[in-house]
């Protein structure tokens, strides 16, 4: 997510939070399957979004952050399924459908990239 995208998402969340009454949010039309977040949950989400590190565009593998996170989750689920003799990924699909694990894995990839960049800068000062 770019800086502009993040700023837009945060602004939209804050506008939604301030412009709607919690008890009427489900009427907004986007909440057919899931309940809308309450004010406290929106605050927590904004806080999590604000602390996710941003990776400079010149960092290695920036285009692969999502792919790396998705592949890591797929490998972990496949490993567990093979160890348990599970033939279907149905349960994994339900367990990981909220996106929380993917978000954590993307955060981890960003942290590794930032750490790698820091180490590179120490080894090769400008």
Q: How far apart are CA 34 and CA 32, in angstroms?
A: 6
Closest CA to 116 of 104, 6, 124: 124
**Where does the pLDDT of residue 2 fall: very low under 50, low under 70, confident under 90, or very high at 90 and above?**
low
Q: Which pairs count as long-range contacts for 76-81, CB under 8 Å and 24+ apart, including other chains?
A: none
pTM flag (> 0.75)? no
Q: How many other β-carbons are positioned within 10 Å of the β-carbon of residue 74?
A: 13
Residue 92 and residue 56 in contact, taking contact as beta carbons nearer than 8 Å: no
Phi then psi dihedrals of residue 37, to 5 deg: -70, 150
11-69, pLDDT tens digit by residue? Answer: 888 888 887 777 777 777 777 777 888 888 888 888 877 765 555 544 455 557 878 88
**Where does the pLDDT of residue 87 fall: very low under 50, low under 70, confident under 90, or very high at 90 and above?**
very high
Q: How far apart are CA 68 and CA 61, in angstroms?
A: 9
């Amino acid at each position: 997510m770019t800086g502009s995208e993040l700023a837009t998402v945060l602004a939209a969340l804050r506008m939604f939070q301030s412009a709607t009454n919690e008890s009427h949010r489900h009427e907004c039309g986007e909440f057919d399957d899931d309940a809308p977040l309450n004010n406290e949950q929106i605050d927590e989400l904004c806080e999590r979004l604000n602390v996710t590190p941003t990776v400079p565009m010149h960092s290695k593998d920036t285009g692969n952050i999502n792919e790396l996170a998705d592949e890591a989750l797929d490998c972990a689920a496949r490993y567990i399924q093979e160890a348990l003799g599970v033939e279907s990924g149905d349960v994994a699909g339900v367990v990981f459908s909220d996106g929380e694990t993917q978000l954590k894995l993307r955060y981890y990839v960003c942290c590794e990239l930032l750490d790698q960049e820091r180490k590179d800068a120490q080894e090769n000062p400008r």
